[in-house]
Chain A
Amino acid sequence: MSEQIIPAQGLPAAPLGRWVAWVTQRSTLVAGLAIAGLILFIGFVAPFLYPPDPFAIHPDHALQAPSWAFPLGTDELGRDELALLLSGGFATLVVALPAAAVAFVVGIAYGLTAGLGPAWADRVMMRLLDAILALPSLVILIFFASLVTLNNTSLILLLGLISWPGLARLVRNETRAQRGRDFVLAAEQLGGGRFYIARMHLVRVMAPVLVVNGTFMIGDSIFALSALSFLGLGVQPPQVSWGSLLESALDIIALDPWWLILPPGLLVFGALLAASLTGQGLLQRWGNGR
């Protein structure tokens, strides 16, 4: 009864027109990737293009608004704010990106194990997950951050080993849902083992979901690190990060230093927006395709 009729694809023939159509159809995705490119440029390339030392102190130029000498002004110690922002970008991304990767791998491993394992193991693992998810990840992060010595390695592990439960639950639920689908049953009937099913079928059908959520996790990781740094429990002095720059500006907010608040805030916003738009864009493209 549900003989689907596939509409003919009618793309404009001219290359420019086709390109425009491609972009407008994916405006969310394109915008997300463009901002992501900009953020990566700021974090990893721009520090080499802008030579001033971020930690050089100019006491007679303290707390100055943007000028030719200091494009984004100076902080209360007279440090070059633009140089600080670029250095803080590197410090943020160099922790947040690997941490997201760790969480991604742990989350998938945990979710697949629960989803494919025997029923009792699944129940135990999911109950544990529910309890962990009852605690906001920032709360767990604050707790453990107060216990350990904070440096890049410990921060990567801390963020990575605490941010995976959401993905794990998603992967487990997807695995359970996909496992009961007819094509998986058919593969089992053909003699496919558990590992074969996971590799050949589950991971393939879940790939879009994984990529989309991996993208969201990068945003979450950047947010978590910035929030921790903002609370003084993340990237530690003398290193700076976007979160800690904003925090130190807040201490002197009564002096109206807008140039110290707007740029780091906008950069974190940009990074989160990039992840969110890219993820949403991918979701729009793939949402119905699985």
Chain B
Amino acid sequence: MIRMITTRLASSSLSIVILVTLVFVMAHLTPGGPAYSILGMKATASSVAQLNARLGLDAPLWKQYAIWWWHLLHGQLGYSYLLNRPVGQLLWQYERNTLVFYISAIVISTALSIGLGLLQGVYYGRWPAKLIGALQLGFYALPPFFVAAMLVLWFAVQLPLFPASGITDLRAVHPSIGSYIAHLALPVTTITLLTVASLSRYFGEAVREELGKDYVRTAMAKGVRFPSILFGHVLRNALRPLVTMIGLSFPYIFTGGVIVESVFNYPGLGWLMWRSALSQDYPVLIAIVLIIGLLTVLGNLLADLVNGLLDPRASYE
């Protein structure tokens, strides 16, 4: 187990190093280069030149690369000229909002996917599974902006049940928890609908596959009741690929997240990224790209570690 964790950590660290390098290259492509990313656009041409000379940004590439690392390790992510604050400080509140949003969506979709997937696996080839399968194909093809727009149209405009925008009631000084939840309702529903379509299909396949395996027949030969077989034997084995899939689906969720946050004006990382791209606020953009990448790597790592707990074989491989 410990060996598995250390190899996995080593592999993740390597991924992070490559990722940081990749983002360094991307930062080089922005107008002004990494100097702006550090100093912010507020810097005048002369102060940039000064900084370049001081930091050695006219120096060879490897030296610039070292400086890039030095600043990252000290938490200096640059300065947003648009929002007039250091990027590091700025990002935290957006990141927190995004994490609340994604984690609630992931928890709800996982629960729904397990239920639907079990039904689909057990009833494979019969009408309940076929119905679920058709719905999955349909929902999978729904673009998030369309779902979000329809939800706003139905449940915020035609039937004003939920707020269509923001994270909380702007008029209240101390907004209630209920207000937060009401503002999260439609964005979370949008992401959940889209995520469940693929996760439940994936899990349903896994359940079906596990149910066809020899050990299920062995358990039946022992006289074990079907529900005990399903929950005592099959579920745990079928959860493994689901956990991996959830770990891998972070980029996919983020793709929908950018769009959903922009529709609902939800102040998360996706919304901030979108605004920064439109106003060409590169220091913020670069910092968000980096954070998204890191979150993905961490998500995969977490999924692998959970699977290490679920699968006794993983610790021996």
Contact = CB atoms under 8 A, between A and B. Distances in A.
A275 to B, nearest CB: 8
A196 B195 CA distance: 42
A143 B18 contact: no
B87 interface: no
A256 B19 contact: no
B258 A226 contact: no
Interface string A239-281: 0000100110110011010100110011011001101110010
B259 interface: yes
Nearest to B164: A253
A33 interface: no
Helix, strand, loop or mixed for chain A's interface?
Answer: helix
A70 B258 CA distance: 34
A139 B157 contact: no
B157 to A, nearest CB: 5
B159 to A, nearest CB: 11
B149 interface: yes
Contacts of B280: 146
B22 A136 contact: no
A218 interface: no
Nearest to A250: B149
B149 A276 contact: no
A134 B296 contact: yes
A240 B203 CA distance: 39
A233 B153 contact: no
B149 A135 contact: no
Contacts of A233: 277-278
Contact of A130 (B15, B144, B250): B15
A265 B30 contact: no
Interface size of B as a range: 35 or more
A205 interface: no
B152 to A, nearest CB: 6
Contacts of A142: 258, 273-274, 277, 285
A132 B292 CA distance: 11
Contact of B254 (A139, A247, A256, A262): A139
B40 to A, nearest CB: 17
A152 interface: no
A269 B142 contact: yes
Contact of B18 (A127, A139, A246, A250): A127
Interface size of A as a range: 35 or more
Interface in B231-275: 250-252, 254-255, 258-259, 262-263, 273-274
Interface in A57-115: none
Given A147-B29, A231-B262, A276 B145 contact: no
A262 B153 CA distance: 10
B146 interface: yes
B10 interface: no
B151 to A, nearest CB: 11
A16 B164 CA distance: 53
B260 to A, nearest CB: 11
B150 interface: yes
Contacts of B150: 261-262, 265
B292 A136 contact: yes
B254 A230 contact: no
Nearest to B145: A230
Contacts of B115: none
A133 B251 contact: yes
B134 to A, nearest CB: 9
Given A147-B30, A233-B277, A131 B22 contact: yes
Given A134-B296, A253-B153, A272 B255 contact: no
Contact of B14 (A127, A231, A246): A127
A128 B18 CA distance: 7
Nearest to A257: B153
Interface of B: 14-15, 18-19, 21-22, 26, 29-31, 137-138, 140-146, 149-150, 152-153, 157-158, 164, 250-252, 254-255, 258-259, 262-263, 273-274, 276-278, 280, 282, 285, 288-289, 292-293, 296-297, 300
Given A230-B145, A230-B259, A269-B143, 8 more contacts: A136-B251, A138-B254, A139-B255, A232-B278, A253-B152, A256-B157, A266-B146, A269-B142
5 contacts: A136-B296, A137-B255, A146-B280, A268-B143, A273-B141
